[in-house]
Structure formats: structure tokens, C-alpha cells
Amino acid sequence: MLSKKFLVVMKKIVKLLCSFLITAAGYSQPNDTGIAIIPAPVSVTKTSGHFILPQKVSIEAGSQGEMKQVIAFLKDRLSVAATGNVTVANTLPTATIRLQLNNTADNSIGKEGYKLSVTPKNILIKANEPAGLFYGVQTLVQLFPKEIESAAPVKNVKWQVPCVNITDYPRFGWRGLMFDVSRHFFTKEDVKKYIDDMVRYKFNLLHLHLTDDEGWRIEIKGLPKLTEVGAWNVKKEGYFGTFSPPAPDEPRNYGGFYTQDDIKELVQYAKERFVNILPEIDVPGHSLAAVVSYPELSCTPGVEKYVVRSGEQIMDWSQGAPPIALVDNTLCPANEKVYEFLDKVITQVAQLFPFEYIHVGGDETPQNFWKQSEAIKGLMQKEGLKDMHEVQGYFEKRLEKIVLSKGKKFMGWDEILEGGLAPSAAVMSWRGVKGGIQAARMKHEVVMSPTTFAYIDYMQGDSLIEPRIYATLRLNKAYQFEPMPDSVEAKYILGGQGNLWTEQIYNMRHAQYMTWPRGFALAESLWSPKEKKNWNNFFHRVEDHFERFDIAEKKYAPSVYEPIFTVSRNADKQISIVLSTEAEGIDIYYTFDNSFPDRFYPKYTAALIPPKDAVMLKVVTYRGKKQVGRLITMRDEEWRKRADRNR
């Protein structure tokens, strides 16, 4: 017989263990607790009970100007839920929701952190700075039922929030997304929408890729042709990069640019939401829009009449990097006019964007036109430059001086390492993380945005269904993004960002589709403690956020639900198609008889051998009774092609 004392002790131990489990699982079991916060907070302790939203909500918040959007956002979301009105006041002893700035700094949460406490009586968010309150509010909204995301008021929802204590702060200060507004132009309103979406997941940096071969997107006073000529091309649809060259009489009326007033408005809009905008002027390559506007800036003035690119082929990548340019899209480092031009551009960019860095590109510069240029040969002799990398290095160092002279820090893609890094340069590492590691070892600041984990222009699933792009980055791979290499001093790694290049992105809905859910994964890598990351747990939360996006009518990619196809030939030379999924608990159903599979069709359990005369495999995925993936069809020629490629 067990003694009574022993049983009491055991009971206490079990109770203690249970409370630990609740704490540990606080945010990790959305289905059990209803808590599914992305990015995962530093610490979540679930306590008992709920806060039930009253019909009339009162918010106490300070009156500082920086609180404007914090309050406006919360009020806007609560108006979906509160049947009565939402009032806000500076001091309100009876407030149901309090947003409080600490009088004495709480060193445990830094500038962007917050503490959120929900009790049955009220909700309190405390932070050192308004940014922290903004992020606390984002977390609070995620604690409400998903209907809070609706654009219009929703009835018949139990508007309650589980009681919790959350302490939260970011792992990295640089949590970015790059939006390429050059390849396709996105309006000022589109950019605002992109900012609205990114801040929900605590991103704080928007990198605007403002110039490229397809368009110059920022008004520069005194250089009118950049936007009169350089911002316009011919509208084409299909697969960008393979378009037929536009005929001379095709209208060049596709594109656009931001006036300086537009830029000021965007900067202000971003600032109110605690987002810095990093402007990028991509030179000396990717500069066709500038060269077309002012041909004297190239090493080949008058050689040929160039036009702003509309997606026709202008580079030959068959020999690898650097590419061979078929038209000269480079500024000429041997031409003093180029530095005068850049001084004018950077002066105005520096005045328009308060952020401390200016990004000046430096990537993928073709060298073939430079190699043929007498002016470049003269420069090499004069400056003792050995090769074209050093020619670019010379250019970057001169540009660095211009950027520094405007009181800004100089940043470029990792190619700027190749010709001898400019003394103060910060490096954005995109060709993997090795450039970033090299730069950090040289004591330069680094932002990690490697293609391998952070290129959100890549396909999210199989090219059978995704718009075709030359590479794939699935959600689970994006979730493995680790911005901090082991072997460098942490202080040099500012953080990381995802890059949304838009050659194949023609509109905002598709920009959303490409950004989410991979943006969730990147947000978690940049905000949450490394040890909190857990794929299965994350994926459950992603599914909760998919439902939130559905209610908000925001677009996202369901590709993570769709199968990975591995095609080969087995020992008997038969085609074998292996299907797998990124997430657990997803069932795949298939047909070879051309009809449309649903969950009453054969369920995939082992490698498929196509029947002798079959011409297509159709697959679809379910979670339980709910179809989650889209119908995907693989034709017989495709499975043969893939099997032979994998031999």
C-alpha cells in the first residue's frame, strides 16, 4: 500500500509538472490553447481563465505622436469585435486595455520588446518605446479569435482572449523584406499595403529596390529623363526573360515612378509603423534604365540605341557569373560624369530617406563591355587595376566616398567584396552566407539574405503548378534560415531579410502569394529565440494564420500542402513516383484514370508505378475531410523526362 504522505507528494509533483507543461506548451499547441503567435514570443505563460471583451471597450494610451498608429491599428481591429464603441483616453482608471510606456526602462526587453498580461479583468501591455507597444498590440490581436481579421464587423463570435503573461523582444534588429518595385512597378498604395502586412509579423525594415534594367522608380530633380524615359517599358505577360523584343512602335506606357512627395509620404507611413525604408540604387550593373535615359553614362555611348527592358533577353548566363551582357546595362567607372550623376542621385536619396544606410547594389555586373573599352583600359593603367573586379572595386570605393559625404552608411550586395571591399562598407550576403561570413570576419556589418533560405521570389512548390522560376524554396527550407553563423562575432550580423524580386510578379495579389507563408518563417528566424524554433509547432501556427488570412481575404500560397514529387526508374527500369509532404498529417489521393481525385480515391502509401498506358497522374491532398492542396497533374512525358534527368 502506498502511504498517504507519498500520495500527497506525488499529487504535488504531478500538479507542478502539469503547470510546467502548460507553460512550455503555452504557444505551442494552438489546437489545445487557442494560442498561435507568429513569430513565437520569447516566453508565454498561460494562466487560467479568459478576458471577455466588453461591448464598450476603453483603451488607455499615452498621447505621444508615435502612438498614433499603435492606437489606430488596435481600434480598427477591435471595431470588428466590439458591438459598442471603442474609446481612447490618455488616463482612464477603468480602462479595459492599457498601453503603458515604462517610466523607468525595463532592460530585459530593449527598445522593441514588450510585456503583455491578460487577466479576466483587463489587458496590460508595457514597453520602453512605442515600437514595443506596437508589437505587443500585434501579439494581442493574434490572441483574439481569428474573426478579428475581418474587414467588416462580425457577429456571433465569443470575443475572448486567453489569460497569459508574455515577455517578448526580438533576436535581431534588422528584420527585413525587400520589395523589387523596378521589374514591375508597384504603386505607392501597393507599397503601403505591403508595409501593413509585414508589420503584422514584426518586420521593421523595407528594402525598396528602386532601380534596375526595367525601370527607374524615383524622381531625381535635375535628371528628368530618368523618370520621363527610364520609368517606362512595354507591357508584356507570360514568362519574363523570354519575351520577344518589343517593336519600335509598341507603346512604352507601362511602369511608373514615385515623385519625391510620394517618397516622403511612404517614409512617413513606414515610420508611423516603426519601419525603416532602405533605398537601393543598383549600380554599376542593372543600370539599363539610367543608361537609356543618359547614354553618356555608359562606356558605349552612341554604339547602339538601347531601350528600357520589357522582359526580353539582355544577358547570357550560360557561362555563369558574371553574365555576358547583350546590351550594355552598366555605368562606366572610367567616366567622371558617372560620379557627378551619382553624387546628384545620392544627395537627393539621402535627403529623402532618413534611414542611416543607402544600398548601392553592385551585383551581377557584366564585364564584357568594360573589357572592350579604351576608357577602362586607361583607368586600369592610371590606377594600377589588375582586372575587372578591381575596376568595380575602384568604382565602389568612389561611390562609398559619395555616400559617406551625405552622412549615410554604404551598403552593397556581396559582389562588392570581389574587388577589394570599401573600408566602411556593409555587405548584404545573397549568394549564400559565405560573403557575409567573410565580411564579418573583416569587421564589416552584414545583413544575411541568402538565396538558399530567403529568396521568396523562388517557387514554393512544384513547377507543375507554380509559375515557373528557375529555383525552388519550400516553406520548411525557409524556416531553416539561420542568420547568425557560428564562426563570427555576433555584433557584425545586423540581421536578415527575405527578397521579393518581381520579374515574374505582375500584381499585388501575387506579391502577397509569394510573401506568405514564407514571410512567417523568416519573421520567426529573425525575431524568435533560436531554441524556440520547431517546425511541427510552427506549421500548426501557420495553419491558424492561413485561416486568419482567409478571413482577411489576403492571399497566401497553399503550396506547403502539396506533394513533393521524386521520379526515378526502379531496378526493373519502371518509372517510380514517390510522393512526400512537407508537413505531417496530410493525406495524398491520386488517380491515373484522368478523373479528379478526392478523398474517396486511392490514398498514397507507397511509390507509384504508372500503369502501362496511363497518360496522367492527378494528385490532391487533404487534412482529414478538408481538401488543402490544389489538384496537380503530371503528364506521362513529364514523368519520363524527370526519371531520365535523375538517372
Residue 426 or 575 having the CB closest to ligand ACM: 426
**453 makes contact with ligand ACM (CB under 6 A):** no
149 is catalytic: no
Cβ proximity of 107 and 80 under 8 Å: no
- Compare residues 468 and 647 and give the one whose CB is closer to ligand ACM: 468
DSSP letters along 153-212, please? Answer: ---S---EEEEEEEEE--S-SEEEEEEE-SSS---HHHHHHHHHHHHTTT--EEEEE-EE
Dist CA 612 CA 172 (whole Å): 55
Distances (CA, A) of 101 to 63, 109, 112: 11, 12, 12
Report the residue from 169, 413, 538, 565 that binds ligand ACM according to the rule CB under 6 A. Answer: 413
The three cell numbers of residue 123 are 489587458
Nearer to ligand ACM, 39 or 366 (CB): 366
Binding-site member from 106, 265, 363, 482 for ligand ACM (CB under 6 A)? 363
* Contact call for residues 285 and 365 (beta carbons, < 8 A): yes
Q: Does 364 bind ligand ACM (CB under 6 A)?
A: yes
Is the separation of the CB atoms in 204 and 175 below 8 Å? yes
Q: Are 181 and 207 in contact (CB under 8 A)?
A: no
List the one residue out of 222, 157, 167, 194 whose CA is nearest residue 40: 167
Q: Name which of 199 and 417 has its Cβ closer to ligand ACM.
A: 417
CB 265 within 8 A of CB 190: no
Q: State in angstroms the smallest separation of the CB of 386 from ligand ACM.
A: 24
544 lies in the binding site for ligand ACM (CB under 6 A)? no
Shortest CB 430 distance to ligand ACM, Å: 4
Nearest position to ligand ACM, beta carbon: 363
Q: How many chain residues interact with ligand ACM (CB under 6 A)?
A: 4
CA 219/CA 259 separation, integer angstroms: 5
CA distances for 297 relative to 291, 341, 412, 440, angstroms: 6, 8, 20, 33
**Phi, psi (deg, nearest 5) at residue 426:** -95, 145
Q: Is 543 in the site for ligand ACM (CB under 6 A)?
A: no
- The nearer residue to ligand ACM, 117 or 497, going by C-beta atoms, is 497
Classify residue 637 as exposed, middle or buried by CB count within 10 Å of its CB (0-12, 13-18, 19+): exposed
Shorter beta-carbon distance to ligand ACM: residue 168 or 364: 364
* Single-letter amino acid, residue 409: K
Catalytic-role residue among 60, 112, 197, 212: 212
Q: Determine if 430 is a binding residue for ligand ACM (CB under 6 A).
A: yes
Q: Are 488 and 441 in contact (CB under 8 A)?
A: yes
Answer yes or no: 489 catalytic.
no
Task: Please give the single-letter amino acid code of residue 458.
Answer: Y
Nearer of residues 321 and 326 to ligand ACM, judged by Cβ: 321
Closest to 223 in 3D by CA, of 310, 281, 269: 281
- Minimal distance in Å, beta carbon 515 to ligand ACM? 16
- Closest separation between CB of residue 448 and ligand ACM, Å? 13
| Least distance CB 501 / ligand ACM (angstroms) | 6
Complex with ligand ACM: residue 170 or 322, whichever CB lies closer:
322
Residues across the chain: 647
Q: Which of 168, 364, 418, 457 is catalytic?
A: 364
The dihedral region occupied by 157, where left means phi > 0, alpha psi between -120 and 50, and beta the remainder, is: beta
**Terminal-residue alpha carbon distance, the chain:** 67
Rounded CA-CA distance 423/462 in Å is 43
Nearer Cβ to ligand ACM (136/311): 311
364 is catalytic: yes
Set 184, 207, 286, 545: catalytic member: 286
| Residues with catalytic roles | 212, 286, 364
Which residues form the interface with ligand ACM (CB under 6 A)?
363-364, 413, 430
